[in-house]
Structure 1
Amino acid sequence: MALSVPTESLTEESLPTDIEELLKLAEKTGAALAPLAADVDAGRADGHETYRILRDAGLLGLLVPREAGGAGLGFAGYSRVLAVLGAHNGAAALGFNMHNVAIGSLCESAATPLPPAADAFRSWLYDEVVRGRKMFASATSEAGSGAKLRGVRTTYRPYADGRGYVLTGEKSFVSLAGVADYYVVAARAEGTEGSGEVSHFVVAADDPGVRFGEVHSLSAMYGTSTAGMVLDAVPVPRSRLFLGVEGMSMYKLVREPHWMISGYTGAYLGIAEAVLRFTTDYVAASPRRAASPVLQRELGRMAARLGAARALVHEAGARIDSGRGTVGANAAVHAAKYIVGEVGPELAQDAVRICGSAAVNRSQPLERLLREASFASVMPAKPEECLEYLGKAALGVNLHDATAFDW
């Protein structure tokens, strides 16, 4: 039975739009999520309660434009909110990020005039998120190719009457499996294997032919409810073709990769913040430890490295907000992803050395944080991919050319 956490104090008539008020809401929501983390991590709960809390807090509309009823956050503000949530419950923050990865690029198009079909799709999605409190998720990864669009084998074909499509394929790691209401599925037209023309479709959880496997037994992030997804000749109406355009997904990713490769960087920054917080509290609990110059220097070194990572994440977010799609902005999010992926595990190792047995005691949150921090390098873009992108950017390679990088 899921632990029940009262959320009356979390629900609001409308989502605040001021970043400081949103950070306060994230802190309040995070405090409600924190007690659930241990049970979900240990497999004693399925994690669905965490997403109910996030829904009830109204946070699903963080990125939706203000005129459509959301908070209208940009990438920088979102990263800050996600870090607050991640410091309380890393798995919940990562799962929540999958909702925003699925809708982020569309929310950023708010000021862009679109053709009628695309505009209708955009309005429908905003309404589903804000008024319907519907959760979206991304379904891209496949066995053997991960999240790289060029390797997608899931296919689609049009109805004979042209009013929709039929999707067939399998996805290997779908977060929010059985939790989200909709899944944004990457697929290619039948007969186009090896090309860069990939499309996205919104598939409802209850569409005929959709089914999920058992939730993967992971060594960390169990609460993301990650499982395989089978699409067995799933009918999708034309109105659920993402933005009403086929074959543009690769182009969009190459130009603006920040959601795919760095949307969850804020969550891993929050996990690193939690590691430092636990270690500091551990040292402060003993006057003898707190008075040790050696431990003071250790904490100072941890704080300085975390501060540098935090500043880079904030800078990358600001550069995306002011110059989305530029190579400089894209390089900044690759750098932030790389640094957070390095700093988190390094701080975890520092914590092990300082806290000793507390680091391996399953009754303490640090043991979970150690495992969670290490998985930043598994998420795209992987460390070597980040470095390759940064090196090519430094050399002046045209990174808007889809063949310049393994997407």
Structure 2
Amino acid sequence: MDRSFLDWPFFEDRHRELAAGLDEWARDALPVDHGDVDAACRGLVAALGDGGWLRHSGGEKLDIRSLCLIRETLARHDGLADFAFAMQGLGMGAVSLFGTPSQREWLERTRAGQAISAFALTEPGSGSDVARTSTAARREGGGWVLDGEKTYISNGGIADIYVIFARTGEAEGAKGLSAFLLPADTPGLEVVSRIEVIAPHPLAHLRLDGVRLPEDALIGEAGAGFRIAMTVLDHFRPTVGAAALGFARRALDEAMARITERQLFGAPMSELQMVQGHIADMALKVDASALLVYRAAWAKDQGAARITREAAMAKLHATEAAQQVIDQAVQLFGGDGVRSGTPVESLYREIRALRIYEGASDVQKLIIARAALGDFLADRDQAS
């Protein structure tokens, strides 16, 4: 794999050491058997914890460049390993950034690989439109009672701890949401069904029926749930782009190995100008994605209060570009590219969901456009 990007000024020596150490670990430990996806994820969380990699997944100070490097590296070796790592970070992101000392006891367990976490925001009637969240939490008896449903919840059914977002009614729309810490064994929490998708991951539809939580289950302040969710996504959205980048790098490597070994019309495929043109397009998309991903991560690590625009650009470009790179790799493999179980076929299934979760591509375009227009209007007003 091309490692020249690690010499870019976005990184410090500790990042280069992290990437090299994880790559060595991953070559020995990955991929794992995906036959039983629940068992595989439990095993991966434990292994990532034992290896010390999960210590980067949460804490009072999140290093976004480290998160991105880890996700890129794991995705290149095994998409399910990337998923297992990512959900430990995203699932407990609200606790890392806003949790109390007692809530952080769960964080200690997830970072050690001793507990599995989940981030429960999506509902049957509100995917990208978080303001339409209908799961409700009301104060009762010195605590909270929650009722509602969540769907497409990653790690649903195997998680030990959930961060749940519910409407507490301090204001209309998004301003009336709050975040809660919900242990999986709490009475009233039901896994209604498991959801099968094209690249198997543990996903579930959840129902909350009179779930009772103590007052200290509230994360941050009542009514701050939307801000908490968006802050968490601001931190972790560039890492989705990093995972896509890892998939794209693997696809490019697989394609180059194929075309240098495969003969076509009496010569290696790599000598055909059309094939070289495809490789050039793929390499360009990979580097452009890497620049956007690590710019966003670097900006956050340098102290930027918000990186909403940069994170949206990184996620949008990297996921869309990875889809194109992987599709081209499948094409270069010919019939073998669609044969079940081959690396490029697996990548083709893995990449599709990344263009949807944590903000679909069309939503990222809206975010970018609004940010660009906002900056333009602010500059114009200042100039006038």
TM over 0.5: yes
Q: Which residue type is aligned with residue 238 of structure 1?
A: E
- Residue 145 of structure 2, aligned match among 158, 166, 181: 166
Quote the offset at 1:313 in angstroms. Answer: 0.4
Q: What is the identity, as a one-letter code, of the residue corresponding to 1:231?
A: L
Question: 1:151 is matched by which residue type in structure 2?
Answer: R
Given that 2:237 and 2:358 are in contact with CA atoms closer than 8 Å, whether structure 1 keeps it comes out as yes
Per the alignment, do residues 290 and 261 of structure 1 end up closer, same or farther by CA in structure 2, a change over 3 Å counting? closer
The TM-score with structure 2 as length reference comes to 0.84
Q: Is the 8 A contact 1:99 1:138 kept in 2?
A: no
Instruction: Give TM-score scaled by structure 1 length.
Output: 0.79
**Cα pair distance change 1:362/1:132, threshold 3 Å:** closer
Contact (CA 8 Å) 1:156, 1:168: kept in 2 or not? yes
Q: Give the match for residue 357 of structure 2.
A: 379
Q: Is residue 120–residue 165 contact of structure 2 (8 Å, CA) maintained in 1?
A: yes
Deviation at 1:262, TM superposition (A): 4.1
Q: Which residue of 2 aligns with 1:49?
A: 43
Q: Are 1:285 and 2:258 an aligned pair?
A: no
Partner of 2:298: 318
1:341-360 to 2 correspondences below 5 Å: 341-360=319-338
| Counterparts in 2 of 1:123 and 1:227: CA distance versus 1, 3 Å | closer
Note closer, same or farther for the CA distance 1:33–1:232 as it changes in structure 2 (3 Å cut). farther
Q: 1:271-304 deviations in whole A, cap 9, x for unaligned?
A: 1111112111212323622444443342232112
Aligned position for 1:113: none
Would the aligned equivalents of 2:93 and 2:232 in 1 still touch at CA under 8 Å?
no
Shift of the 188–33 alpha-carbon distance from structure 1 to 2, 3 Å rule, reads farther
Which residue does the alignment assign to 2:89? 100
Distance 2:90 2:376 in 1: 25
Gaps of 5+ in 2: 1-12, 378-384
Displacement of 1:226 after TM fit? 0.5
Question: Which position in structure 1 is the counterpart of 2:19?
Answer: 23
1:217 aligns with 2:163: no
Matches within 5 A, 1:4-403: 18-31=14-27, 34-36=30-32, 39=35, 47-65=41-59, 73-108=62-97, 119-121=100-102, 123-130=104-111, 133-160=114-141, 162=142, 164-189=143-168, 194=173, 196-220=175-199, 222=200, 224-243=201-220, 245-253=221-229, 257-259=233-235, 261-286=237-262, 288-326=268-306, 329-396=307-374
After TM superposition, give the deviation of residue 33 of structure 1 in Å.
Answer: 5.5
When residues 54 and 215 of structure 1 are mapped into structure 2, their CA distance, relative to the original with a 3 A threshold, is farther
| Distance of 1:256 and 1:179 partners within structure 2 | 22
**Counterpart for residue 8 of structure 1:** none
Deviations 1:167-193 (A, max 9, x none): 211111111123221010001126966
Bigger mean CA offset, 276-285 vs 183-192: 183-192
Question: CA RMSD, aligned part only?
Answer: 2.9
Return closer, same or farther for 1:195/1:355 CA change in 2, 3 Å cut-off.
Answer: closer
Q: Distance in 1 between matches of 2:345 and 2:96?
A: 37
The question of whether the paired residues in 1 share the 8 Å contact of 2:233 and 2:358 is answered with: no
Determine if contact 1:352/1:359 at 8 Å carries over to the other structure: yes
SS at match of 1:269: helix
Q: Which amino acid aligns with 1:314?
A: Y
Moved more, 307-316 or 30-39: 30-39
Structure 2: distance between partners of 1:37 and 1:272:
22
Which range is displaced more, 82-91 or 262-271?
A: 262-271
CA shift for structure 1 position 74: 1.0
CA distance in 2 between counterparts of 1:123 and 1:379 reads 26
The CA deviation string for residues 191-244 of structure 1, in whole angstroms up to 9 with x for no partner, is 966452211111111111222133211112x1x20111122212222222113x
Stretch deviating more after TM superposition (21-30 or 343-352)? 21-30
Going from structure 1 to structure 2, the CA distance change for 1:251 and 1:28 (only over 3 Å counts) comes to: same
Between the two proteins, the alignment pairs up a number of residues equal to 361
Q: In 2, Cα distance between the equivalents of 1:242 and 1:363? A: 42
Structure 1 unmatched ranges of 5 or more: 1-16, 110-117, 400-407
